[in-house]
């Protein structure tokens, strides 16, 4: 899989999350239109989706989301109200985005969605609500209210969403940070405090070039230019002769966006020369759009040339052909010079533009303008986080080559979807620059590719100017800030002092001293550590910052001198910090292990008994062991990270665990057969390990039901609107977890049940009012856990199910005769709603009436190994309960035998096993039955149910009492083998559609057992 395909997959994954978030939050917004936090959540999701789509070249998604943002922005500013018209439009945009994202998932770069007509609706709606405040472009004409102020070109300020507008450094100087006997360094500034101003609540399109100005500011400047140049009619006449297309600005805007996309792709592919060419095209199109250069014949020819080159690059990337050749185009590579020459001939206009920008900036600084709100933050650069000693030779070589050492700190936007991509592109830009070398990055580039981070620190050696380094950093997209601070360091590589290298053994005699202290600390240094004295020094330095080191072995001076034979350190320490804080301080230093921290206060009471001392020692040892365990857990929690795993890998892992379970059963049978003690012990350990492994893998497959539940508020909203009903929809228990395989199949049956409750169950508002009910109907979707099953309840407060109405409809549709339905109890009559073709709707609609919904529900749930039950009271409401297994992968079963074939019955359906004789079976009106616990229990022969012949001459037979469709029935069979845990394998081919079979499994002895589906048997 190539790099772009990985980015595409990442886009798809996070786009689906953002779309689901939009769906939920839009429903919440309709219910709570005054909640600004909901609007901000919607805005963030939409903006992130737009930026990511634009980065990967999905312009149709980007454009629609951009105009959707316009509506949200005006809602946030209070200019457009939240009403049904607005919400319907936003939901229409969301539906279009879901379709377009689905097309991207199918590998299609074009869309079948008529998104331009939706954009036209948005523009018309803005005209309707805003009147003259909206221009033709769909953006607000009042720059002072909605757009960020433009910056001067020479400021080299990145115009992404977070813009660093001014930086002032405040340096804290500290003494040397580390010493070694042959290599040493001294940091003059261990920490630097930097003040940064960030744009707040300003939305600017993400791009890949420096000094970008927002479109709204361009409109402002262009308006001023047009005012100043109205008299220049001669030039206008010359321009008309060039036959310039009417939509030239739109073409240039598309070219600018596309060049930024190609720039990002070139950076990701590490094609620096091609990236430079696309940057020049981006700057050229931006200059034309900004009217920095006049349109003439040469400019028009250059536009055509640039467009041709971009098309060639795009086609080559799409076809995976060589693209580096386009980086050698002399015309494109001289675009910057061409732009500079054109700007030089237009100095007077350029000066006017600068003056306009200065005026806007001045208004913003004085607080008179309403263009940008700035938020000042302080960022601390801790230069001590880097491992200078390990990189000392490299640093020295760079400094000798007249490079400066810089600490680069970057923080990415919270809403950025491709965080790993952005940081990788930044590191590639730094590494590919011929004047710079990355000494160290935290986190490393390998970590960034595997885990999503919000910020990064880079130690960077650079021989260029500070302005050139700022240009590289400003090219990074979607950063809150990206700033470099110089590190003042002195390095001594071959420092030879008069100290003799200490190699003699260390003899600690601290035990013989009476030392009063709060803590006695011992720790070891990893044998593989190359700089043991440095690690020990780092621990002592950290401890000294929050307390006092009374004494240590080896001594502090010997550690500082660089003793190379230190393996263990003992410290006597005074501090007010608690023991956990002391342990945490030591843990954070790498290559430190076997940490033992104990309170060590001298006991002044010498009259204590020996028993008390012994008990105290035992308690102390117990505390030590608990602290060690706690320390280990803390260390593990610090290292834990979250990574995305393809679901196919989890499925494969589950299959492998299934094979382990099968082989475990095989070993168990062998151990039982040969009765070997050693084998029994080994099998016991294997059982424990395999069970633990199985539970861990099963838990990895468990997903909260919220994954499915969260899509239904939108379903309820749309259906209720279509039926002209008012509904309160409540979700409970969304944190309950189910196996992914089960959860994936739940969406369809739940949709049918919810639509059915809304259509057939809950009455219209006027009817409810007459009945004394609240005008708004109540619909609940509830998940509960019951042992090894999950119950999902759909409950409404509607009119309930009338058994007599059901009987009449069944007879009317010819599904049963009047005599048959009259024999049914009310509960049995209610369950007739699951009959294929049954419906109480008088006419077919988009919501119901075809008689397939409830049948689909029961068929799907039973195929998952579950069941459906209905409870209803006329006039009070209905409750439909789905009883589902936690998982379908590995289940507990009862193995039974019929002739020579073994069958597995799901243990969740088995109620009892009894042994009877043939004489106890009676025939009651054609149905065989037995007396079971003073009740009549209908029974059936398993051989008859499976259409097999079996000689039933045995005197003693077994009856397995099972639950079937909320009723009890007895299965008569030959033999009951016992309980077993099996791996469910799906049936394929001709066995797939056989009623009564739910799957198959492989037993420990290699035989195949069929799993029975009791509900369809």
Q: Where residue 689 sits, what CATH number does that domain have? A: 1.10.287
The closest alpha carbon to 129, from 68, 69, 76, 86, belongs to 86
Torsions phi, psi for 409 (to 5 deg)? -125, 125
Q: Mapped to the 3 state alphabet, what secondary structure does 270-299 carry?
A: CCHHHHHHHHHHHHHHHHHHCCCCCCCHHH
Residues 741 and 870 in one domain: yes
Q: Mapped to the 3 state alphabet, what secondary structure does 903-917 carry?
A: EEEEHHHEEEEEEEE
Total length of the chain? 1017
Residues 392 and 464 in one domain: yes
Specify if 471 maps to a domain: yes
Residues 897 and 998 in one domain: yes
Specify if 404 maps to a domain: yes
Specify if 799 maps to a domain: yes
Q: Which two tokens stand for residue 916?
A: 């009877």
Give me the pLDDT at residue 158, please: 32
Mean pLDDT split into 10-residue runs, the chain, 1017 residues: 63 83 87 84 83 78 87 85 88 91 84 89 85 41 32 32 30 37 65 72 41 43 49 52 68 79 74 81 83 80 83 72 74 81 66 53 46 68 83 82 88 78 82 87 80 86 87 82 86 47 46 72 78 78 84 78 69 85 82 81 43 49 50 42 72 83 83 83 86 83 87 89 90 89 86 89 91 92 85 93 89 85 85 79 55 75 83 91 81 87 88 89 87 90 81 75 81 89 80 78 84 79
Q: Are strands 901-906 and 727-732 parallel, antiparallel or unpaired?
A: unpaired
Residues 868 and 955 in one domain: no
Give me the pLDDT at residue 372, please: 47
SS3 (DSSP) at 101:
helix
Residue found by looking up tokens 């263009």 in the block = 371
The closest alpha carbon to 410, from 478, 462, 465, belongs to 478
User: Beta-carbon neighbour count of residue 74 at 10 Å?
Assistant: 21
**DSSP structure string for 698-716:** HHHHEEETHHHHTTHHHHH
Residues 543 and 582 in one domain: yes
Torsions phi, psi for 873 (to 5 deg)? -135, 125
Supply the pTM of this predicted model: 0.47
Residue 840 C-alpha from the chain's centroid? 43
Residues 696 and 719 in one domain: no
Q: Which two tokens stand for residue 177?
A: 């940070």
Residues 876 and 894 in one domain: no
Q: Where residue 800 sits, what CATH number does that domain have? A: 3.30.565.10
Specify if 191 maps to a domain: no
CA distance 470 to 456: 16
Q: Where residue 88 sits, what CATH number does that domain have? A: 1.20.120.160
| HSE-up (13 A, CA, CB side) for residue 401 | 16
Residues 776 and 678 in one domain: no
User: Helices (H), strands (E): how many in the chain?
Assistant: 34, 31
Residue found by looking up tokens 């490079």 in the block = 403
The closest alpha carbon to 261, from 55, 41, 512, 490, belongs to 55
Q: What sign for the dihedral angle of Cα 14, 18, 24, 25? A: positive
- Choosing from 470, 487, 504, the residue where a domain stops is 487
**CA dist list (Å): 161 to 173, 209, 311, 499:** 33, 13, 28, 56
Residues 466 and 331 in one domain: no
CA distance 246 to 257: 19
CA distance 530 to 523: 17
Cα-based angle 462, 467, 469 (whole degrees, multiple of 5): 35
Specify if 616 maps to a domain: no
Q: Where residue 911 sits, what CATH number does that domain have? A: 2.40.50.180
Q: Which two tokens stand for residue 853?
A: 């919904």
User: Beta-carbon neighbour count of residue 395 at 10 Å?
Assistant: 25
Residues 933 and 857 in one domain: no
Range of the domain at 561: 535-599
**DSSP structure string for 157-194:** ---SSS----EEEEEE-----B--SS-EEEES-SEEEE
- Choosing from 672, 701, 730, the residue where a domain stops is 701
Torsion angle (degrees, nearest 10) of CA 620, 622, 624, 627:
-130
Torsions phi, psi for 96 (to 5 deg)? -65, -40
CA distance 225 to 353: 8
Q: What is the 8-class DSSP label of residue 758?
A: I
Q: Which two tokens stand for residue 216?
A: 């709204």
Specify if 952 maps to a domain: yes
Q: Who's near 428: CB < 8 A, 6+ residues apart?
A: 267, 268, 270
Residue 524 C-alpha from the chain's centroid? 39
Q: Who's near 435: CB < 8 A, 6+ residues apart?
A: 403, 462, 463, 464, 468
* Long-range contacts of the stretch 499-504 (C-beta < 8 A, 24+): 499/181, 499/561, 501/181, 501/564, 502/558, 502/561, 502/562, 502/563, 502/564, 502/565, 503/564, 503/565, 504/565
**CA dist list (Å): 305 to 255, 319, 576:** 12, 21, 72
Q: Are strands 956-964 and 967-973 parallel, antiparallel or unpaired?
A: antiparallel
Give me the pLDDT at residue 24, please: 86
Specify if 300 maps to a domain: yes
> Structurally, how many domains does the chain consist of?
7
Check residue 996 and give left, alpha or beta (phi > 0: left; psi -120 to 50: alpha): left
**CA dist list (Å): 899 to 251, 580, 903, 943, 974:** 79, 66, 11, 9, 7
Residue found by looking up tokens 């070039």 in the block = 209
User: Side by side, which strands form the sheet with 890-898?
Assistant: 975-983, 890-898, 901-906, 1008-1012, 997-1002
Q: Who's near 508: CB < 8 A, 6+ residues apart?
A: 553, 554, 570
**Beta strand residue intervals within 843-985, DSSP E:** 867-873, 877-885, 890-898, 901-906, 910-917, 922-924, 927-932, 935-941, 956-964, 967-973, 975-983
Asked whether the beta carbons of 183 and 530 are under 8 A apart, the reply is no
**What does R_g of the chain's alpha carbons equal in angstroms?**
37
Q: Which two tokens stand for residue 164?
A: 């660093």
User: Side by side, which strands form the sheet with 191-200?
Assistant: 167-172, 191-200, 373-382
Cα-based angle 239, 244, 248 (whole degrees, multiple of 5): 120
- Choosing from 487, 522, 552, the residue where a domain stops is 487
Residues 730 and 859 in one domain: yes
Residue found by looking up tokens 């960034």 in the block = 448
Residues 32 and 85 in one domain: yes
Specify if 392 maps to a domain: yes
């Amino acid at each position: 899989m190539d790099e772009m395909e990985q980015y595409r997959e990442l886009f798809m994954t996070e786009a689906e999350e953002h779309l689901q978030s939009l769906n939920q939050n839009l429903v919440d917004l309709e219910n709570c239109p005054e909640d600004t936090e909901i609007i901000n959540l919607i805005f963030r999701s939409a903006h992130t989706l737009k930026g990511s789509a634009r980065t990967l070249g999905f312009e149709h998604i980007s454009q629609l989301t951009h105009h959707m943002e316009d509506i949200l922005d005006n809602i946030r500013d209070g200019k457009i109200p939240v009403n049904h018209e607005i919400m319907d439009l936003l939901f229409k945009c969301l539906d279009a985005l879901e379709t377009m994202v689905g097309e991207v998932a199918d590998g299609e770069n074009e869309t079948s969605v008529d998104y331009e007509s939706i954009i036209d609706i948005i523009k018309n709606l803005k005209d309707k609500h805003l009147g003259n405040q909206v221009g033709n472009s769909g953006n607000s004409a009042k720059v002072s209210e909605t757009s960020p102020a433009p910056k001067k070109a020479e400021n080299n300020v990145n115009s992404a969403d977070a813009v660093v507008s001014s930086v002032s450094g405040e340096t804290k100087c500290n003494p040397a940070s580390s010493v070694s006997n042959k290599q040493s360094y001294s940091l003059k500034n261990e920490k630097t405090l930097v003040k940064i101003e960030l744009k707040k609540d300003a939305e600017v399109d993400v791009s890949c070039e420096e000094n970008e100005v927002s479109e709204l500011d361009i409109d402002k400047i262009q308006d001023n230019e047009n005012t100043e140049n109205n008299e220049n009619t001669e030039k206008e006449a010359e321009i008309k002769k060039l036959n310039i297309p009417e939509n030239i600005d739109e073409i240039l805007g598309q070219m600018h966006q596309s060049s930024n996309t190609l720039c990002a792709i070139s950076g990701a592919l590490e094609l620096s020369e091609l990236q430079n060419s696309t940057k020049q095209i981006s700057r050229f199109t931006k200059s034309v759009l900004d009217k920095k250069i006049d349109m003439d014949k040469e400019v028009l020819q250059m536009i055509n040339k640039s467009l041709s080159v971009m098309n060639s690059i795009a086609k080559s990337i799409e076809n995976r052909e060589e693209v580096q050749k386009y980086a050698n185009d002399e015309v494109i590579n001289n675009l910057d010079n061409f732009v500079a020459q054109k700007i030089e001939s237009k100095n007077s206009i350029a000066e006017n533009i600068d003056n306009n920008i200065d005026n806007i900036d001045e208004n913003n600084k004085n607080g008179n303008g309403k263009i940008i709100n700035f938020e000042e933050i302080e960022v601390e650069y801790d230069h001590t986080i880097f491992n200078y000693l390990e990189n000392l030779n490299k640093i020295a070589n760079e400094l000798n080559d007249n490079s400066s050492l810089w600490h680069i700190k970057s923080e990415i936007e919270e809403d950025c979807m491709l965080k790993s991509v952005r940081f990788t592109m930044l590191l590639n830009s730094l590494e590919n620059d011929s004047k710079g070398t990355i000494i160290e990055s935290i986190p490393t580039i390998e970590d960034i590719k595997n885990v999503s981070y919000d910020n990064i620190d880079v130690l960077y050696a650079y021989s260029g100017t500070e302005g050139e380094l700022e240009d590289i950093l400003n090219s990074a997209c979607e950063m809150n800030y990206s700033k470099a601070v110089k590190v003042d360091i002195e390095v001594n590589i071959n420092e030879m002092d008069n100290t003799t290298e200490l190699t003699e053994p260390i003899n600690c005699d601290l035990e013989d001293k009476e030392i009063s202290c709060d803590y006695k600390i011992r720790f070891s240094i990893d044998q593989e550590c190359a700089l043991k004295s440095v690690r020990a020094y780092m621990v002592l330095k950290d401890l000294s910052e929050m307390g006092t080191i009374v004494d240590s072995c080896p001594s502090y001076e010997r550690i500082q001198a660089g003793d190379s034979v230190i393996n263990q350190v003992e410290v006597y320490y005074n501090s007010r910090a608690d023991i956990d804080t002391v342990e945490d301080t030591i843990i954070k230093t790498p290559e430190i292990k076997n940490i033992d921290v104990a309170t060590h206060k001298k006991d002044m009471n010498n009259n204590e008994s020996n028993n008390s001392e012994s008990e105290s020692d035992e308690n102390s040892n117990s505390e030590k062991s608990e602290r060690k365990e706690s320390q280990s857990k803390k260390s593990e929690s610090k290292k834990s990270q979250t990574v995305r795993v393809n679901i196919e890998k989890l499925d494969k892992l589950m299959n492998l665990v299934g094979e382990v379970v099968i082989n475990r059963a095989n070993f168990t049978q062998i151990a039982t057969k040969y009765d070997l003690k050693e084998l029994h012990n080994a099998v016991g350990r294997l059982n424990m390990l395999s069970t633990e492994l199985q539970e861990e893998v099963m838990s990895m497959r468990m997903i909260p039901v919220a994954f499915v539940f969260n899509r239904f508020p939108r379903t309820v909203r749309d259906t209720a609107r279509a039926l002209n009903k008012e509904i309160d929809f409540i979700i409970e228990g969304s944190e309950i977890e189910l196996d992914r395989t089960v959860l994936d199949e739940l969406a369809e049956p739940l949709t049918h049940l919810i639509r059915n409750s809304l259509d057939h169950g809950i009455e219209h508002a006027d009817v409810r009012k007459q009945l004394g009910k609240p005008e708004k109907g109540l619909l609940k979707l509830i998940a509960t856990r019951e042992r090894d099953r999950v119950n999902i309840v759909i409950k409404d407060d509607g009119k309930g199910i009338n058994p007599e109405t059901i009987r009449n409809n069944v007879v009317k549709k010819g599904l049963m005769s009047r005599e048959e339905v009259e024999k049914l109890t009310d509960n049995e009559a209610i369950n007739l709603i699951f009959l294929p073709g049954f419906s109480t709707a008088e006419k077919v609609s988009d919501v119901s009436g075809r008689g397939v919904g409830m049948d689909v529900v029961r068929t799907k749930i039973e195929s998952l190994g579950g069941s459906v039950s209905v409870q209803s009271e006329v006039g009070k409401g209905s409750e439909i309960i789905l009883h589902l297994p936690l998982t379908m992968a590995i289940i507990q079963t009862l193995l039974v035998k019929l002739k020579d074939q073994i069958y597995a019955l799901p243990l969740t359906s088995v109620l009892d096993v009894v042994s009877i004789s043939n004489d106890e079976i009676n025939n009651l009106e054609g149905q065989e039955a037995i007396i079971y616990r003073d009740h009549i229990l209908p029974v059936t022969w398993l051989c008859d149910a499976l259409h097999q012949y079996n000689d039933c001459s045995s005197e003693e037979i077994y009856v397995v009492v099972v639950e079937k469709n909320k009723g009890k029935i007895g299965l008569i069979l030959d033999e009951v083998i016992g309980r077993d845990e099996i791996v469910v394998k799906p049936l394929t081919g001709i066995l797939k559609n056989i009623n009564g079979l739910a799957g198959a499994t492989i037993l420990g002895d290699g035989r195949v057992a069929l799993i029975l589906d009791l509900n369809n048997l």
